[in-house]
Amino acid sequence: MFDLKGRRKYLNKKERKAFFNAVRKLGNKSEKAFCLLLYYTGCRISEALNLHPSSLDVSEGNVVIETLKRRKKGVFRSIPIPNDLLRLLISACKNLDASEKIWPFSRTTGYRLVKSCMRAACIDGAMASPKGLRHAFAVACIQKGIPLTVIKTWMGHARLETTAIYLNVTGQEERTLAKRLWKRD
């Protein structure tokens, strides 16, 4: 979870909250939905940009994402999302055909949007990126005690070993994990 210079590659809890607050201030609902989707699902930018209105499983409150990092197509994962985000996504899809992409912008535009929110949240460094959001999602899941097998599915990993790298945390996140051990039964 560190780059080659030993810098943290994920947002910590405070930075994650600052990003969320910066996104909430966005005036454009579609851009807000895009950033919140990355925040709440840990999906990759390319996976978010590949979503269509039919990717929303409204009855289950999930978004169905095709894992694009695999060599074969047709590998999907379903991730629960908060009702507020689901409503925002439904609103973003209001005038779209089922096969139209929710966000018509490029990967570069999506990257710039996330970076802009990072700057607004005063987040700088290796973690101030869409990938930092992805890593932060996984670390947050671990902090909340979500089983590694579930995180593996939500992240779209083929192997549990890949997901296990998110256990390599430092600072406050490491202390939070250690506090579970120190807690008396």
Residue 185 has pLDDT above 70, yes or no: no
Q: Look at residue 8 and tell me if it is in a domain.
A: no
Q: Look at residue 2 and tell me if it is in a domain.
A: no
- CATH number of the domain where residue 69 is located: 1.10.443.10
Instruction: Read off the pLDDT band of 174 (50, 70, 90).
Output: confident
Instruction: Read off the pLDDT band of 100 (50, 70, 90).
Output: very high
Q: Which pTM value belongs to this model?
A: 0.90
Domain total of the chain = 1
DSSP secondary structure, 31-68, as one string: HHHHHHHHHHH---HHHHHT--GGGEETTTTEEEEE--
Q: Look at residue 102 and tell me if it is in a domain.
A: yes
Q: Look at residue 82 and tell me if it is in a domain.
A: yes
Instruction: Read off the pLDDT band of 131 (50, 70, 90).
Output: very high
Helix 83-92 vs helix 29-41: crossing angle, to nearest 10: 140
Q: Look at residue 168 and tell me if it is in a domain.
A: yes
Q: 64 pairs with which residues across the strands?
A: 78
Q: Look at residue 3 and tell me if it is in a domain.
A: no
The range of the structural domain enclosing residue 97 comes to: 13-182
Cα Rg for the chain, rounded, in angstroms? 16
Q: How far apart are CA 86 and CA 88, in angstroms?
A: 5
Helix 107-120 vs helix 29-41: crossing angle, to nearest 10: 80
Kindly state the tokens that stand for 157: 């990993």
Q: Look at residue 63 and tell me if it is in a domain.
A: yes
Alpha-carbon torsion 25, 14, 143, 131, what sign? Answer: positive
174 vs 162, residue with greater confidence:
162
Q: 76 pairs with which residues across the strands?
A: 66
Q: Look at residue 36 and tell me if it is in a domain.
A: yes
- Give, in degrees to the nearest 5, the angle at Cα 130 between 127 and 136: 55
